[in-house]
């Protein structure tokens, strides 16, 4: 099915055509008719499946400019907030719809101004609550409430915040919830706040026939050297490197740069402008390696990912699937590579309990040993027992 078959408003169809969209994805084909029909929807679909258009296009069709905030879209991260905002503005470029984004890490004053004339607001829970407490946002005209990446929202501890936000919207609204998985917390929200929803499942994960899963069982001091070797050997496409902590992300990214690899870091402790620069650098192909934590990478719609490297092994099979699900999309092939050392064995054993995952062991190739400079943690209290930040020369991984 193509977009012309949807009989969209001419302004929307023109924008979609200019953006290069032709065929609808599975989640779009299934969701758009239900949303147009006024149904509450639970969409089970992963990042990159086209769900922003699935809810954005039917919402844009029904928004009337100048009648207050008619749609509220709640996202777990600032990056996803910006991406959804950009997508809606692109879809509505030939309409008069005003889309405002509200998220933390930047001044609230420009957002207060933008919200006054907004038809659609996209925001993170914390900053939406800031506006609610300041009484700078009004939801009395909201007709559409979208809860995006719901499972990650609750993993990040936003369940109470989301509940507070929902209670401030009109009861006769249409509610759309999207989530890659439906854990108990998400099911609770669905049962309490959605009205006889229709559940729609898209392609949740990747085409497993096109995804190669391998792992290397290595000594800790070989981990970084092997990562460098693999990145230099496999330069096609984009590589995502997942680490467990912000500190590890920074250290790995800096050390990759010192090895001549175009890498940037992204995690929740970075300033918003720096996080957005990392994402833009990846989209503009000025870098080809992104080192990230799970939280920061969730919701980023990154295309052409050829390799996912688990530098630190995730704690569960669902986390593993979320990570590797960023490659082997849209008919492309992909590689999921896990670098396993002694400290990772417990986590990896839990992952292997999922019998649907077939992860093959492969032997470590001959590699050149490279030095890993460990960054000391930055102290918050100066001389009170914390060393000054910097690099020392103890090699590790």
Q: Where are the domains of the chain?
A: 3-201, 208-361
- Average pLDDT (76-83) is 86
Residues ≥6 apart with Cβ < 8 Å to 357: 213, 317, 320, 321, 351
According to DSSP, residue 137 is labeled -
Structure tokens at 324: 């590797």
Q: Is this model's pTM higher than 0.75 or not?
A: no
How far apart are the two ends of the chain, measured CA to CA in Å?
Answer: 49
Do domains 3-201 and 208-361 share one topology? The answer is yes
Q: Is the pLDDT of residue 381 over 70?
A: no
100: left (phi over 0), alpha (psi -120 to 50) or beta: beta
Give pLDDT, residue 296.
Answer: 59
Binning pLDDT at 50, 70 and 90, where does residue 332 land? low
Please, which pLDDT band fits residue 389 given cuts at 50, 70 and 90?
A: very low
How would you list the strands of the sheet with 334-340, edge to edge? 263-266, 289-292, 238-242, 305-310, 334-340, 211-217, 360-361
In 328-384, alpha helices (H): 345-352
Q: Look at residues 4, 250, 279, 48 and name the one whose alpha carbon lies nearest to residue 149.
A: 48
- Angle in degrees, 0-180, between the axes of helices 51-62 and 10-18, rounded to the nearest 10: 150
Query: Which three-class secondary structure state does DSSP give residue 290?
Result: strand
pLDDT band per the 50, 70, 90 thresholds, residue 258: very high
Residue 90: how many other CB atoms lie within 10 Å? 16
Residue 384, pLDDT above cutoff 60: no
**Domain formed by 208-361, architecture:** 3-Layer(aba) Sandwich (3.40)
Q: Are 168 and 138 in contact (CB under 8 A)?
A: no
H helix count then E strand count, the chain: 15, 14
Q: Which fold has domain 3-201?
A: Rossmann fold (3.40.50)
Q: Are 396 and 221 in contact (CB under 8 A)?
A: yes
Q: How far, CA to CA in Å, does 316 sit from each of 247, 263, 299, 380?
A: 21, 26, 19, 32
pLDDT tens digits, 290-319: 999 886 566 566 767 889 999 999 888 878
Query: What's the pLDDT tens digit per position in 50-65?
Result: 889 999 999 999 999 9
Two structure tokens written together for 205: 């994960």
Cα–Cα distance between 335 and 196 in angstroms, integer?
40
């Amino acid at each position: 099915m193509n977009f012309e078959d949807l009989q969209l408003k001419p302004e929307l169809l023109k924008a979609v055509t200019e953006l290069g969209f032709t065929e609808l994805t599975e989640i779009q084909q299934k969701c758009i008719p239900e949303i147009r029909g006024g149904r509450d929807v639970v969409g089970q679909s992963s990042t990159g499946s086209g769900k922003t258009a699935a809810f954005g296009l039917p919402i844009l069709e029904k928004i009337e400019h100048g009648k207050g905030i008619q749609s509220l879209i709640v996202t777990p991260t600032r990056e996803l907030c910006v991406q959804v905002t950009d997508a809606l503005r692109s879809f509505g470029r030939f309409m008069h719809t005003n889309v405002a984004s509200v998220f933390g890490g930047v001044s609230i004053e420009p957002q207060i101004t933008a919200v006054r004339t907004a038809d659609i607001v996209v925001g993170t829970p914390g900053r939406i609550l800031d506006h609610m407490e300041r009484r700078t946002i009004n939801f009395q005209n909201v007709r559409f409430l979208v809860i995006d990446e719901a499972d990650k929202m609750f993993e990040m501890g936003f369940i109470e915040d989301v509940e507070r936000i929902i209670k401030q919207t009109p009861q006769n609204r249409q509610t759309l919830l999207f989530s890659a998985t439906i854990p108990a917390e998400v099911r609770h929200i669905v049962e309490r706040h959605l009205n006889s929803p229709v559940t729609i499942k898209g392609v949740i994960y990747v085409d497993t026939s096109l995804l190669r899963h391998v792992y290397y069982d290595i000594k800790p001091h070989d981990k970084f050297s092997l990562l460098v070797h693999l990145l230099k050997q496999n330069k096609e496409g984009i590589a995502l490197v997942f680490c467990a902590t912000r500190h590890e992300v920074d250290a790995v990214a800096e050390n990759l740069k010192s090895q001549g690899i175009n890498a940037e870091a992204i995690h929740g402790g970075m300033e918003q402008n720096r996080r957005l620069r990392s994402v833009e650098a990846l989209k503009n192909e000025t870098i080809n390696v992104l080192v990230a934590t799970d939280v920061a990478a969730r919701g980023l719609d990154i295309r052409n990912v050829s390799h996912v490297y688990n530098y630190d092994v995730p704690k569960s099979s669902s986390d593993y699937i979320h990570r590797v699900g960023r490659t082997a999309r849209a008919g492309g092939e992909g590689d999921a590579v896990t670098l396993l050392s002694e400290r990772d064995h417990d986590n990896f054993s839990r992952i292997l309990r999922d019998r649907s995952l077939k992860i093959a062991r492969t032997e470590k190739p001959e590699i050149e040993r490279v030095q890993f400079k460990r960054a000391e943690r930055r102290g918050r209290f100066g001389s009170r027992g914390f060393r000054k930040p910097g690099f020392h020369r103890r090699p590790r991984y």
